A and B are shown apart, each in its own frame.
Chain A
Amino acid sequence: EADIYQTPRYLVIGTGKKITLECSQTMGHDKMYWYQQDPGMELHLIHYSYGVNSTEKGDLSSESTVSRIRTEHFPLTLESARPSHTSQYLCASSPENTEAFFGQGTRLTVV
């Protein structure tokens, strides 16, 4: 099993609230990713990082932000949640040029 953890697993929150989705890995991987996936739909990359203090936006425009202050930690923040942010958010990490390992995901519902 991969050592990558996401919390919370499920979150229901009201519109306008600030939320942070946590992602941590203990494998020492430099590359980390956030994907967004709606039910039955494809994965969309929203953020990635090559290492500490490196963050980039992915294919899909997102109102979320990320930070990478430590190698093992890659949190994603939404300053003001909206119903359109309802989705599953998947975090992943990988060593150089090999497969990615995924966390179990956070299923976010904004009401």
Chain B
Amino acid sequence: RKEVEQDPGPFNVPEGATVAFNCTYSNSASQSFFWYRQDCRKEPKLLMSVYSSGNEDGRFTAQLNRASQYISLLIRDSKLSDSATYLCVVNFGNSGYALNFGKGTSLLVTP
């Protein structure tokens, strides 16, 4: 079982739609959580960190549920430029390499 699991994609949505991605993680001792965005043939870039209280950045809202070991990303009013792969990343906080990437969920926003 993979340690960080994401919704299978791809998600095809029309412009203006609201879309939500989910991610579950296996390690209850996980310390920090992130969503990354990766454009085609580019490197991943940090979209936002995910805090226990939840956080919002413009059209993007991230939430964390530690009890269920689950994080989510909500994108409101989707734009064509939101088309990308969204990677869930979890820091397990142990002495080993800390960052664990999900496989990613592909989003295509269409006109």
Contact = CB atoms under 8 A, between A and B. Distances in A.
Q: Interface residues of A toward B: which range?
A: 20 to 34
B46 interface: yes
B101 A42 contact: yes
Interface stretch (B14-22, B59-67, B71-79, B91-99): B91-99
B91 A33 contact: no
B22 to A, nearest CB: 17
Contacts of B44: 43, 90, 102
Given A43-B101, A56-B97, A102 B45 contact: yes
Contacts, number: 47
Contacts of A48: 97
Given A42-B103, A97-B32, A97-B91, A103 B43 contact: yes
Main secondary structure of the interface of B (DSSP, over half): loop
Interface size class of B (residues with CB under 8 A): 20 to 34
A58 B96 CA distance: 10
Contacts of A58: 97
Nearest to B48: A99
Contacts of B87: 43
Given A43-B101, A97-B31, A99-B89, 4 more contacts: A43-B87, A48-B97, A101-B46, A104-B42
Interface of B: 31-32, 34, 41-46, 49, 87, 89, 91, 93, 96-99, 101-104
Interface of A: 31, 33, 39, 42-43, 45, 48, 56, 58, 88, 90, 94, 97-105, 107
